[in-house]
Structure 1
Amino acid sequence: MSTGLRVVAIADADSFVKWSASLLGSVPGIRPHLLLVKTPLTASAAQERTALAGAGLDPAAVSRIMFGETGPWLEAQRPDVVLLAGRGPFVRLMGRVIDALTHRPVTVAGLPGMAIPAQRGALDYRRHVDLLVVHSHREERAFADLGRRIGAQVPTALATLPFARTKARMLSPELVRAGTASSATRRGGAAETEQNPGPDGIRSSMSKAPATDIVFAAQALVPMDREDRAEIAATLVRAAEADPRRRIVVKLRSRPGEAETHLERDAYTELLGRRVRVPENLVFSYESMSQALSTAAGLVTVSSTAAIEALAQGIPVIALDSFGVSKSLLNTVFVGSGLLGGRSEVIAGRFRHPHPDWLRDNYFHPESESTWWDRVEALVALRRSGSLPARRVSAPRGGALHEAWHRASVLGRDDRTLSGRIALVAGEPAVGMLSALKRRRSPDLGTWVDASTDITLEPNPFHDSIRR
C-alpha cells in the first residue's frame, strides 16, 4: 500500500526535524513532505541542512509555514498520514489542528531518540495519536506499563532508530583504544584539520582526518549542575592535553543565537571560553553527528542517543557515570551495556563496545521486527473504510482561556491573537506558583529514583519550559 501514500511530518525543533526526516526517508514508495512550523524552537536554515544530511528526504520536500497556515495547508493536501514531531505541547497543539480537518489522516508520533525512562508527560501529551513509534523492545514494555499506570492506552509500534542503522563497523571484535600511538599509526597518524575561530576564540572545525577523534556529544539537560558540566569541560581539556595527536571534538547542536529542542544552561562554549588556555586540539563542531563520527575513534556522552548512532558504526563509547547512574541523568538505559565509564577512562582513551546480550533489547533488534510502517498501512486502510475512530485531543480543563494559554506558550511571539496575550497575562502568575511548587519538591522522590522500573510518574526535574 505504500506506493502513493501522502505522508506529512510536522516538526519544529532540530532533533525532531532530524528524526522525522530520517524516519520518512526510510520508507520506500511514499510521497513525503516535511512542514516546519514557526515556533521559538524552530530549526534555523543551517540546523535544517544539518538535520537533513543523509536523512533520505529531498530538501525540496520541506516547507516553512506559520501555525495559522497549517490547517489550510493540510486541508488542501489531504495527507493519508501525519507524523507529529515535536515536544509534547507542540504535538498536542497540532492535534487540535488535526481535529478540525474535514479529511482526517492517521496520526503518528514518537520521540527522536532513546526514551528510557518513559516519562509521564511524553505519553500524556501524545495520548490522542493513533500510533506511538518506539525504538526498542525495552521502550515497548516501558510505555505499555506507563500507559496502564496513567490510563493512556496508546498503541505502540517498533521502529529502528532511522539514523542509527547498522553499518559495516558495527560490533567489531577489536576493542579500540582511541588516541593511542598504535591506533594513530594504524589510522594514518594524527588528525589533520582545517580550523576556524569559533565562539569565545575556541576553534570550530571541519575535519578531513582519519578516525582518531574523540567526539563528545554535548547535551542541554544533563548533567544539570554547573559544577558537573564544568568538570566535564575540564575532563575534555585534560584528554586533549594527554595526547595532542588526537582531536577532542565537542559536538554542539546549536550555534550562538539558534534554539534547540531543550534549553541549555551553562553551555560548553561558555565553560571552555572562561579558561585561560584551551589546547589546540580541542575544537567545537556544528556539523551533523554522522559527519563528526566519520573521523571518530570513540564517543563520550552522558546519555545522548549519539551513543547508539556511534555503536551502529562500530565506534566504541564511554557513557559517563562519574555523576552517578540515575533516571534524572537519563543514563539507566546503559546499565548492563558495558559502556559505563568514568572521566579517567576518557582521558586514557579506554572506550568500549557493548555487551551482545544488551543489544537486542536496546535499539539493535533485527530489522524484521520493526513493523511500525506495516501498522501505519493497516491504520490507513481502517481509516479509509471508516473503521478507525478518531482519537481527539481532550478539551482543556480551563476552557478557552487555558487553550489560548497553551497555544501562546508553544508559539511565543508568533501567536498574535488577543486571546493568547490575555491568557499569558492572566495565566503567568498561576503558572509561576505551580512551577515554584514543583521546584520545592525534591527530584529525588518517587519513580525518578525507583530503579526497579523504566518509567516515571512525576513531572521531570529539568525545569525545561517550552517557553523561551
Structure 2
Amino acid sequence: MPVSATKAPRVAVLADSDTRWKWGALTAQRIAAENHGASSEDPAATTSDVRLDGYLLRGRATPTARQLTEVGVRADSLREVTAVEFLRAMGEDPADGEPYDVVVLALVGGGVQALLHGLARAWEGRTRRPVVVTGYVGVVYEKLADGLLLRHGADLVLANSRQDADRFRAVYEGVGADASAVTEVALPFLGGTPYSGEHAPYTVVFAAQPSVPDNRRDRTYLLDRLIAHARLHPNREVLLKLRSRPGEHTTHLEEVPYQKLAQATGLPPNFRLVYGHMGEVLDRTDLLVTVSSTAALEALHRRIPTAVLTDLGVREVLGNHHFTGSGCLASWDQLDAGHRPAPGEEWLTRQGVAADGSYATAFDTARARIARLLEQPGGPPPLAPYYTRATAPGYLPGILARHHLAPDGTPLPGAPAADREPGAVRQLVRRAARGAYRHGVQRVAPVIRRMGEL
C-alpha cells in the first residue's frame, strides 16, 4: 500500500471467531501489501510486510489458543477486547505514533454495524482516519439483504466472487444506498499446490460443518455413509475433517459434534478423524466431499475432485443450493460407485475460485481503492452507514445496545471497558461462564428439544 515507501502498512483486525480471524488476518495481508508477494499463492508470504495487530472480540466463540495456532496466521500483537475497549483503542493516538492504515472488521453483521457507528463517533473531528474493510468468510447463502445492510457503511465491502459483487450491488441500489464500497476480490485463503493425480493411498476427505446439517438424525446419516464408504473401499483412506474439538466454538454452534457420534460407532481401520489446517489436509486429498463447506471452494481452486452432497436434498437451509450449475452435486450412492464430479468452467469463473490462474490479481482492485482513499486530501470521508436513527429507529438501537453502545455510537454508562488485562479471578469466572454456556448448548438444549418432541 503506498502509504509510505519505507514503513510497513499497519492494520488492525477485529474478529469474533476462529474462522473470521483467519479470514480477517489473511485479508489484511492480501490487501495491505503491494508488490511484496501479496498476490502469492502462499498468503503467509506477506506476513513480514504488514504490521498486523489482532483484536479478538470477547464472546461465546472467542478462539482458543489451539484454534489460533491451527489457523496458522501470526500477528504482531493479539489481545481479547470488548467492543468498547476496541473503540477506545481506535480512538486513542497509538503509543508508538504510527496510526493504523486499515481496520478490518471480521465480525457477524450486527457486530460490524455496531462498530461502524462506534468508530464514526470515535473518529469525529479527526483530519484523517483508517480505511475500514469488511466482508464475508465464505459462501453467502442466507440473510443476504440483512447481512449486507448491516455491513453497509464500511469503505470496502468485499465480495468473494463476481456473482456476489453483482448481488451485493443490487441489494444496496435496491434500497437507495451507495453501492460503491462493493469490491470484488476472492477468498484470501485459497492457494496450495494444484492437484496432480491420485495419492497412495487414494484419500477421501469429508469436510464437516458445525451447523450444517443441524440435527442428530442427518449428522448420523452422513457419518454412517462415510463409514460405509470406508468399508466398501478398504484400500482408500477416509478422513473426517473436523473444525473444532469438543467444547470449542467456531463461527456457528455445534450441538451434535461428530466426535461424539463416532464414539458410539465401530470404525474401520482406514477411517480417521483429523484436525489441523485445511490446506495441509487438501495436500493429500483425492476427493473432497461436503454438504456446503467453503472447503469445497478451496479444493476446486486446486482442481481437486469435489463432491457436494445431495443426499439430504438441495436446499437453502443446507447451503448446497449455491452449487447448482457447478457440476459438483452428487450423492453417496454415486460416489460409492466411483463417480468423480467435474466442475463447469463458467461456474468456477463466476464463483471466484480462480482455478484459471487469475488469483494473482484478485486483490488488485481492493488495494488500489484503499490507496486512493488514503491519498485523497483529508483522507477517507466520514463513515456513513445506511442504517441510522432516521432509517431504522426500531432496529438500530437494539443492535448497538448488544455491544453496550448508545444510539449515537457512544459507550453506554457501565459498559465493560477494562483499562488493564483481567486478573486471575476475572479470567476464571470468564472461563467458567463459557464452559457453562457450551454445556448448555451441547448437552442441555438437545435434551430439552427431545423432551418437547415426545
Give the TM-score of the pair, scaled to structure 1.
0.72
From 184, 189, 211, the equivalent of 1:163 is: 189
Q: Does 1:9 align with 2:30?
A: no
Q: 1:70 aligns with which of 71, 83, 86?
A: 86
* Aligned twin of 1:41: 61
Which residue does 2:51 correspond to in 1?
31
Rate the CA distance shift 1:261–1:403 in 2: closer, same or farther, 3 A.
Answer: closer
CA 1:401–1:342: 2 relative to 1, 3 Å? closer
| Partner-residue secondary structure (3-state), 2:350 | coil
Q: 2:246·2:257 contact (CA, 8 Å) conserved in 1?
A: no
- Listed one character per residue, the Cα deviations across residues 252-285 of structure 1 (whole Å, up to 9, x for unaligned) are 111111111011232222332333x222322222
> Counterpart amino acid of 1:62?
L
What is the RMSD computed on CA atoms of the aligned residues? 2.8
Any idea what SS the aligned residue of 2:93 has?
helix
Structure 1: how far apart are the matches of 2:105 and 2:271? 38
Deviations 1:366-409 (A, max 9, x none): 23354112112222223x52562321562473599736642269
Superposition deviation, residue 117 in structure 1: 5.4
Q: CA deviation at 1:329?
A: 1.9
Q: Which among 242, 256, 266 is matched to residue 266 of structure 1?
A: 256
1:419 Cα offset (Å): 7.3
Q: Which amino acid aligns with 1:407?
A: H
Whether the aligned pair in 2 keeps the contact of 1:130 and 1:391 (CA below 8 Å) is: no
Q: Deviations over 1:215-256 (max 9, x none)?
A: 111112322343222211111110111122322211111111
Provide closer, same or farther for how the CA distance between residues 362 and 105 of structure 1 changes in structure 2, counting only shifts above 3 A: same
**Does residue 1:331 correspond to 2:329, yes or no?**
no
User: Where in structure 2 are there 5+ consecutive unaligned residues?
Assistant: 34-48, 406-410, 417-454
CA-to-aligned-CA distance 1:62-107 (integer Å, 9 cap, x gap) = 3333444312322233312111001112212322331232343221
Change in CA separation of 1:165 and 1:317 when aligned onto 2, cut-off 3 Å:
same
Are residues 1:229 and 2:219 paired? yes
CA 1:81–1:247: 2 relative to 1, 3 Å? same
Q: Residues 137 and 94 from structure 1, CA distance in 2 versus in 1: closer, same or farther, beyond 3 angstroms?
A: same
Any residues of structure 2 matched to 1:84-233 within 5 Å, and which?
Answer: 84-102=105-123, 103=126, 104-116=129-141, 119-154=144-179, 155-165=181-191, 167-169=193-195, 183=198, 187-188=199-200, 190=201, 212-233=202-223
Q: Is the 8 A contact 2:243 2:275 kept in 1?
A: yes
Q: Is the 8 A contact 1:300 1:346 kept in 2?
A: no
Task: List aligned pairs for 1:252-263, cutoff 5 A.
Answer: 252-263=242-253
What is the letter of the counterpart of residue 242 of structure 2? L
Answering whether residue 56 of structure 2 is matched by residue 20 of structure 1, we say no
Q: Which runs of 4+ in 1 moved over 6 A?
A: none
1:125 aligns to what SS in structure 2? Answer: helix
Stretch of structure 1 that moved more, 300-309 or 278-287? 278-287
Query: 1:76 and 1:282, CA in 2 relative to 1: closer, same or farther beyond 3 A?
Result: farther
Q: How does 1:53-68 map to 2 (within 5 A)?
A: 53=72, 55=73, 58-68=74-84
Give the number of equivalent residue pairs: 373
Kept in 2, the 8 Å contact 1:37–1:67? The answer is yes
Aligned to 2:398: 402
Match of 1:390 in 2: 383
Contact 2:159 2:183 in 1 (8 A): yes
Contact 1:13–1:41 (CA<8 Å) still a contact in 2?
yes
In the alignment, is the contact (CA less than 8 A) between 1:311 and 1:353 conserved in 2?
A: no
1:82 aligns with 2:103: yes
What 5-or-longer segments of structure 1 have no aligned partner?
A: 177-182, 191-211, 410-414, 421-468
Return closer, same or farther for 1:345/1:399 CA change in 2, 3 Å cut-off: closer
Residue 153 and residue 399 in structure 1: after superposition, are their counterparts in 2 closer, same or farther (change >3 A)?
closer
1:308 alignment partner AA: L
The one-letter code sitting in structure 2 at the alignment partner of 1:5 is P
1:375 aligns with 2:365: no
| Identity value in percent | 29
Whether contact under 8 Å (1:401, 1:419) holds in the other structure is: no
What secondary structure, in the 3-state scheme, does the structure 2 residue paired with 1:319 have? strand
Q: Is the 8 A contact 1:315 1:353 kept in 2?
A: no
2:236 corresponds in structure 1 to 246
Inter-CA distance 157–166: structure 2 relative to 1 (3 Å threshold): farther
2: distance between equivalents of 1:274 and 1:417? 50
Which residue type is aligned with residue 373 of structure 2? L
Cα pair distance change 1:386/1:318, threshold 3 Å: closer
Q: Deviations over 1:446-467 (max 9, x none)?
A: xxxxxxxxxxxxxxxxxxxxxx
CA shift at 1:131, angstroms? 1.4
Paired residues of 1:118 and 1:139 also in contact (CA < 8 A):
no
- Check 1:403–1:125 CA distance in 2 against 1; reply closer, same or farther (3 A cut): closer
Task: Indicate if the aligned counterparts of 1:123 and 1:152 stay in contact, CA closer than 8 A.
Answer: no
